[in-house]
Structure 1
Amino acid sequence: MEYKVLLTVFVAVFIAELGDKTQLATMLFAADKEVSKLAVFIGASLALIVASGMGVLAGGIISQYISEKHLHYIAGVGFIGIGIWMLLKA
């Protein structure tokens, strides 16, 4: 296993998810006193696993048709575009 890649992906996803609406939704579910915290944790964890799996599959398929360099440019432009859109909406 490539531990450098593992650590890089972990840190990137962990930071991206902090304060994310997914974390806020999970917090709201866990705040309910009648709800099992373990069930909330397992449900949220499984959802993140499935969503990440879809991302890995999509990335694997897309990378067969588009070069990694172009994918980086597309992702960069996408993030910049989202940032500009959010600034304009604020």
Structure 2
Amino acid sequence: MDIKTLLTTFGLIFLAELGDKTQFAALCLSADSKSRLAVFLGASLALVTSAFLAVLLGAFLARCFPPHIVKLVGGILFIVMGAIMLITR
């Protein structure tokens, strides 16, 4: 296992998720629930599952397209989605 890739991925995802809708949903659910452990486990399982699906999709796309194309399209999608968010607010 490549520790640099592990730490880079952790740092990037951790920072990207700070203040995200997912975090606020977990906050609200835990404030409303008596079983904070169930909220933690449910939120954790959901995040792990979505990350697993993203990794599978990324591996599939890497077999179909060169990595630089996948990165380029991903970057363009981030820019387009960010622009849409700015315009619609």
TM-score by length of 2: 0.95
Equivalent position amino acid for 2:78 in 1: F
Matches of 1:38 and 1:87, distance apart in 2: 36
Match of 2:48? 49
The structure in which a higher percent of residues are helix is 2
Flag as ranges the 4+ runs of structure 1 deviating above 4 A.
Answer: none
Alignment of 1:25-36 (within 5 A): 25-32=25-32, 34-36=33-35
Please report how far the alpha carbon of residue 62 of structure 1 lies from its aligned counterpart in structure 2 after TM superposition.
1.0
The runs of 5 or more residues in structure 1 that have no matched partner are: none
How many residue pairs get matched?
Answer: 89
Does residue 5 (structure 1) correspond to residue 16 (structure 2)? The answer is no
What SS does the aligned partner of 1:64 have? helix
Matches of 1:87 and 1:39, distance apart in 2: 35
Match of 1:18? 18
Matches of 1:48 and 1:19, distance apart in 2: 15
CA RMSD of aligned residues (A): 0.9
The runs of 5 or more residues in structure 2 that have no matched partner are: none
